[in-house]
Chain A
Amino acid sequence: MMHVAPYVIAAWIFVVGLYGLVTTRNLIHAVLCLSVMQSSTYVLLLSIGFRRNAGAPIFSVDVPPGTPAVDPVMHALTLTDIVVGATVMALVLALTMQVHRKTGSIDPHKARSISG
Chain B
Amino acid sequence: MTDRVRFALFAAGIVPLGVFLVWAVAGLSPFGYYPGPYGDVVNAIATAQRHVLNVATAVNFDYRGFDTLGEEYILFTSVAGLILILRERRQTQGKRTSLGETERADGVGALSLVLLPVIVVFGMYMAVHGGLTPGGGFQGGAIIASGFLLAYLGSGHPAFHAIGKIEILEVFESLGAAAYVVIGLAALGLGLSFLQNFMPLGGRGNLVSGGTIWAINIAVMLEVATGLVIALSEFLKEIEP
Contacts and interface: CB of A to CB of B under 8 A. Distances in A.
A–B direct touch, CB within 8 Å, in complex? yes
A28 interface: no
Interface string B101-116: 0000000000000000
Interface string A69-97: 11111111101111110111011011101
Contacts, number: 164
A58 B55 contact: yes
A8 B74 CA distance: 30
A72 B39 contact: yes
B47 A8 contact: no
A50 B34 contact: yes
B33 A72 contact: no
A57 B34 CA distance: 14
A83 B30 contact: no
Contacts of B231: 87, 90
Contacts of B235: 90, 93-94
B47 A59 contact: yes
A84 B32 contact: no
A97 B34 contact: no
Contact of B21 (A5, A14, A81): A14
Contact of B42 (A2, A7, A73, A91): A73
B137 to A, nearest CB: 9
Contacts of A75: 56, 59
Main secondary structure of the interface of B (DSSP, over half): helix
A15 B238 contact: no
Given A19-B14, A65-B44, A73-B39, A11 B22 contact: yes
Nearest to A14: B21
B74 A87 contact: yes
B214 interface: no
Instruction: Find the residue from A69, A74, A93 having the highest chain B CB count within 10 A.
Output: A69
A113 interface: no
Interface of B: 6-7, 10, 14, 17-18, 21-22, 25-26, 28, 30-34, 36, 38-39, 42-44, 46-48, 53-60, 64, 67-68, 71-72, 74-75, 78-79, 81-82, 85-86, 89, 93, 133-134, 136, 138-139, 141-142, 205, 224, 227-228, 231, 234-235, 238
Interface of A: 2-8, 10-11, 14-15, 18-19, 22-23, 44, 47-52, 56-61, 65-66, 69-77, 79-84, 86-88, 90-91, 93-95, 97-98, 101
